[in-house]
């Protein structure tokens, strides 16, 4: 009886561990599904539910691509970023003059997502080698002038077959594009 309990305990722990790991292909698929939705680029501030809140489905920015893709695989970045910011507010940028967290917007800011991913050991080496960027990876860029951008690498290749494509929203909605090296990469993350 004791051996059976030990086996059941070990199996249930393995099940929990495997459930906490998300295959990169699931995140890639979730991001690709977002490209089928008609979304207008809208950086407006919205009051949203918490947890699992989202801006209106037909609106969004680049961070909403990340948030929605992760939510499709069962990860609520709104809640996770908010909780980490509450516990570690001094570690996050003060670009917006905030004195405390705001569960409506904090997760929708690229620098905050970058800090969150870094704090959760998800940082990957930045390189100019397209083979280093795999489906499910999150990439952030500097657009210059203090502007940042973020997208997800997906399991679709460029026409020359040399690199994976990106799902992002830089103004034209949630789209699939060959833009990995179009801007200066400032972050590379694998948060699975």
Domain boundaries, the chain: 22-189
pTM comes to 0.88
pLDDT by 10-residue block (mean), the chain, 192 residues: 43 41 90 97 97 97 98 97 97 90 97 98 98 98 97 97 98 97 98 92
Q: How much is the pLDDT for 20?
A: 53
pLDDT of residue 22: 77
A 10 A CB-CB count for 33 gives 14
Contact by Cβ (8 Å): 69, 63: no
The predicted structure's pLDDT at residue 182: 98
Nearest alpha carbon to residue 103 among 52, 173, 42: 52
In the structure encoding, which two tokens stand for residue 115, read together?
């800090």
**pLDDT given for residue 97 in this prediction:** 86
- CA 170, CA 151: separation in Å to the nearest integer? 9
Contact 109, 63 (CB under 8 A): yes
Range 22-189: architecture per CATH: Alpha-Beta Complex (3.90)
């Amino acid at each position: 009886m004791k051996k059976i309990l030990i086996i059941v305990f070990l199996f249930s722990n393995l099940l929990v561990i495997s459930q906490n790991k998300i295959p990169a292909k699931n995140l890639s698929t979730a991001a690709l599904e977002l490209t089928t939705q008609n979304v207008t680029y809208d950086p407006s501030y919205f009051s949203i539910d918490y947890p699992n809140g989202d801006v209106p489905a037909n609106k969004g920015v680049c961070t909403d691509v990340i948030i929605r893709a992760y939510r499709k695989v069962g990860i609520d970045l709104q809640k996770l970023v908010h909780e980490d910011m509450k516990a570690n507010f001094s570690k996050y940028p003060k670009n917006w003059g905030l004195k405390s967290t705001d569960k409506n917007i904090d997760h929708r800011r690229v620098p905050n997502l970058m800090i969150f991913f870094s704090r959760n050991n998800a940082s990957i080496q930045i390189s100019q080698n397209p083979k280093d960027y795999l489906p499910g990876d999150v990439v952030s860029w500097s657009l210059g002038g203090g502007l940042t951008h973020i997208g997800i690498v997906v399991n679709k290749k460029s026409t020359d077959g040399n690199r994976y494509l990106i799902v992002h929203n830089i103004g034209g909605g949630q789209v699939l594009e060959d833009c990995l090296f179009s801007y200066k990469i400032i972050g590379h993350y694998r948060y699975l």
